[in-house]
Amino acid sequence: MRVSHPLDDLSPASVLVAAGRPARVPGASVNPPVDFTSTYAAPSTGVGYGRNGNAVWTAFEEALGHLEGGDALVFGSGMAAISAVLALVPPGGVVVTPRHAYNLTNVLLEDYAKAGYEVRHVDISDTAEVLAALEGADLVWTESPTNPMLEVADLRAIFTAAREQGVLSVCDNTLSTPLLQQPLELGADVVVHSVTKYLAGHSDVVLGATVTATRGQGPELLARLTRHRTMHGAIAGPMEVWLALRGLRTLHLRVERAAANAAELARRLADHPALERVRYPGTGAMVAIEVRGGADAADRVAADCRLWLDATSLGGVESLIERRRKYAAEATTVPENLLRLSVGIEDVDDLWRDLDRALRG
């Protein structure tokens, strides 16, 4: 359980730089070491075996835990973290999930449904619909904004109702990051991150994380997630975690620049003649656009960009563009002509000229 710490009085920008550092003693390194070992000499007063822990895991978990206000665990991938959280649902249990969410979350839930679980898909932006679906549920999964439709949920209302009904509440906070939204403060029980995205920020690692509340059932959930990580081998490599911690140091700068770029692009795109609709939640670095002319026209726009990269993923320093419905696993309610834009930190005028040129053909 996380206890009071001097970093608690610092702003998130300062926490990002200061957390997870070695103790300040003469001759100490500024950065934590990368401990490449699978085992430790006996008798061990530490983790004993590499599956159970690593110094750089602890450093990263300290930093992320301070940002989210809870206890963090790093996993070998975002899907490993998602799988660990969904494993909290009892056999045959009921899960409420957004109709639009990270597509592999819902693909995994399809497997759960085939195994006898009940999965209730809801419009997460319709609070009344979500609250009605909570009756008899075991877990409610949330995203806000959703991926890729960028719908916004009333998280506080959902988490409050879930707690009143004894429903475990989870928020995938990948798109917002802890800088823009802290679900545990809003009442969530568990937060999930694809560390691959904004937290690491450089499209060079695959990692995931969970963060559990320090109150209530949080310590019990932390113990169960830790056991799942250990017993299912969902562990992260020390080099990947070290890279993610290094990336975390500049999260506030990257999010600030990318979000400013996204806001400006959304403003310029609002009345673009080549578009049917612009989706922008008003914050963050994600924008979605619906191109006139259908899927073929959208594919041409993505292919014609020179600075924007037609590729999957999001949250890196580079700007990415892709048509989501080209993937069979994407929800069929996502428009065929929707392009998801992960706005990076490049010069906004360069991004605009490249996208505008592609849109105008």
How many whole angstroms separate alpha carbon 134 and alpha carbon 157? 12
Q: Which of 51, 224, 268, 277 is catalytic?
A: 51
Q: Which of 172, 189, 299, 354 is catalytic?
A: 172
Q: Taking each helix axis from N to C terminus, what angle separates 218-231 and 78-86, rounded to the nearest 10 degrees? A: 120
CA distances from 263 to 5, 179, 286, 289 (A): 35, 16, 9, 13
Residue tagged 């924007």 (tokens): 308
From the list 192, 315, 244, the residue with the least C-alpha distance to 57 is 244
Q: Give yes or no: 114 in active site.
A: no
DSSP string, 212-239: E-SSTTHHHHHHHHHHHHHHTT-PPPHH
Q: Give yes or no: 197 in active site.
A: yes
Q: Which of 120, 197, 257, 340 is catalytic?
A: 197
> Strands, E, within 67-129: which ranges?
71-75, 94-98, 118-122
Identity of residue 131: L
Q: Give yes or no: 102 in active site.
A: yes
Name the DSSP letter for residue 54: -
DSSP string, 179-193: HH--HHHHT-SEEEE
Q: Which of 2, 99, 102, 325 is catalytic?
A: 102
Q: Give yes or no: 350 in active site.
A: no
Catalytic (active-site) positions: 51, 102, 172, 197
